[in-house]
Structure 1
């Protein structure tokens, strides 16, 4: 029984042309048998086989077409044999009974076919769900391992510095104690960034429709983020900021800073020592905001690290995604930073992408866009409210460039 079921299911997967040949051959053979056994009133029962085949191998439309062709051929043949359409009552009745029986047979087999197809589809769907669940379980386990490793590193550093301060508090001078406290604080900030990424992964989808947007000068946000990074990173990696002072974006301040922190953190991880990291910002193009076009500001973070293989770029912004070289290498990460950055940028109405050839030394350039606040709106909002309040100087439009070490 099992093998017969497998055979019938296998027939459903045959090419359309093969199934058509099978049905056509069966119809032709049965027509020949019908004509050879015409003297038997119930010879039309020969068509049980082709009707069953067409109902099983094809959808209802093809079944109705085949049934109509068979009936038409039989009517024409019997009209030729009888010389007219005045058939005997018994012959007409028996032919109608057989035709109705064949039609019901086809409908039942067609219904069975649909049920089998639905069952197979449901089985495949369940198999896909199970495979996805297994994949998610593996991703979850890997994520827990990554987060455990990521949390342990800054926590170990904090614990170590605090332990040294507690043990040798009377022997350490003020400068050394300050250095230890600063190092512990930087490890806490690294820990805070990690926790923020994990929490943002959960929260950003729920808050996308209710985030608070404000007008933010790009240069102020960039300097704020850079200055809060570990000074050791700034000493090892010169940061070049090339951002026009007049650029203002419509964004959420927390999200904007989080995206910049994530991109700069990645740049510090991958760039070789003393290699420059460049932050640029400029007008990029037009995007429809609130049913009218307005310009975008494109902010980019560029490094000269190993780059990203082109094959890995399409999946780079996925959740828990880490490059193969990083999994087996020394670069730490949870696979959440870029995913969170993408969600945050899109929640603010922007886009994010990466440009990289994958060639070592050419590095990567991460770019994201945010809606720009036009100069007219900025002037209106910054205009003095009273004669005593000094007016802001008109921006000259020149980029504000500075090297930070």
Structure 2
């Protein structure tokens, strides 16, 4: 009976494990016996001892001599199942000793020692056989569990290798895209600068002062674009290798916005009507250099990707921002709104990663390294804020970038 039941449990255990992988849990008769494997050793030892004592009391009180000890199959089975090996052996030896003592003490004068020995031998063989088979089944189940765990670990290791390979492939793809972008980003202004300088060197005598001034202005503009690209690459390397923590102080938002706008070419500012909606008394607790660079990156994208003569709106206000623990806290929220082509919602989560650019921009005429928004995210988070974008992806409706900064305490 015990052998057949434990064999059924072993087979159903395999089905149970395979069903768990599919997200289903099976219930079958005798599952309580399988659960006994997982109880602590001391608890199992206590159950076996308690059962053994009850059987001993029942044998001493109610069973005549000679008795082969069939009642002790219960503690022996529990010991073989829960304690295994040494515990089951000690239980069988203790059972045989108890049987011998009780049978001898109850033996009548007309009972022969030979009949007592025969019954005792049969009981010993039966109990030892039961303990052996149940212990072997328990060992088989343990080996099955170990094999399943190894298989699961191997599967998890394979999944990790697959994920690592995919990440490496994506990194290689981003690296290749970055090299293409940075090559275009550096070569174009260099070609522009070299071309105007070559014209001035070869034809300066034929050019009037006004034409020379225009060529020099174009060359200076190319140098400025080249400097911005190099600075972005160097800033990204600095952030990745040795990120310098911010030095926050009380900061007037209107002054930082004005400082960021002064760093742009005046002709670039004239191409877009600017609307600055920033209260003069609004302050934040932030790093002035990081905040200025964030604004410069966001404004540079707004100027590059939105059509000429479309407005760019810079706003700032005190807002209640939700935190990770579902609470709200007052923070300064700064926004930059443009009227460009917008950002597809599917690409928004990837926008703040390193070297990432929109698919439509990879083959477009607008240059970029894919580092500005990545740097902005790192700077904002270092100052205790967060940055995000809201856009429907519809051309003409544009995008609005928001970032928050702690208020002055």
Tell me the SS of whatever aligns to 2:245: coil
Q: Does residue 66 in structure 1 map to residue 34 in structure 2?
A: yes
Q: Does residue 317 in structure 1 map to residue 303 in structure 2?
A: no
- CA pair 51-242 structure 1, distance change in 2 beyond 3 A: closer
Pairing partner for 1:198 from 233, 241, 246: 233
Question: Equivalent residue for 1:329?
Answer: 364
Q: Does residue 187 in structure 1 map to residue 222 in structure 2?
A: yes
Question: Equivalent residue for 1:51?
Answer: 10
Larger radius of gyration: 2
Contact 1:267/1:277, CA 8 A, preserved across alignment:
yes
Q: Alpha-carbon deviation of 1:141? A: 0.9
1:220-259 matches, cutoff 5 A: 220-259=255-294
Pairing partner for 1:356 from 369, 391, 402: 391
Contact 2:9/2:31, CA 8 A, preserved across alignment:
no
Give the TM-score normalised by the residue count of structure 1: 0.69
Pairing partner for 1:343 from 378, 385, 407: 378
- CA pair 167-271 structure 1, distance change in 2 beyond 3 A: same
Which one has more relative contact order, counting CA pairs under 8 Å at least 6 apart?
1
Question: Equivalent residue for 2:157?
Answer: 122
Contact 2:246/2:290, CA 8 A, preserved across alignment:
no
Q: Does residue 215 in structure 1 map to residue 250 in structure 2?
A: yes
Inter-partner Cα distance in structure 1 for 2:173 and 2:151? 33
RMSD: 3.4
- CA pair 156-185 structure 1, distance change in 2 beyond 3 A: same
Contact 1:51/1:67, CA 8 A, preserved across alignment:
no
Give the TM-score normalised by the residue count of structure 2: 0.68
Inter-partner Cα distance in structure 1 for 2:131 and 2:196? 96
- CA pair 182-221 structure 1, distance change in 2 beyond 3 A: farther
- CA pair 169-63 structure 1, distance change in 2 beyond 3 A: farther
* Partner deviation per Cα, 1:23-78 (whole Å, 9 max, x = no partner): xxxxxxxx5xx8xxxxxxxxx4895575266268539xx98833869xxxxxxxxx
Question: Equivalent residue for 1:260?
Answer: 295
Question: Equivalent residue for 2:101?
Answer: none
Q: Does residue 275 in structure 1 map to residue 310 in structure 2?
A: yes
The structure whose residues are more often helix, as a share, is 2
Structure 2: runs of 5 or more not aligned:
19-29, 38-67, 73-121
| Residues paired across the two proteins, number | 319
Q: Alpha-carbon deviation of 1:148? A: 0.9
Contact 1:67/1:103, CA 8 A, preserved across alignment:
no
Tell me the SS of whatever aligns to 1:353: strand
Tell me the SS of whatever aligns to 1:359: coil
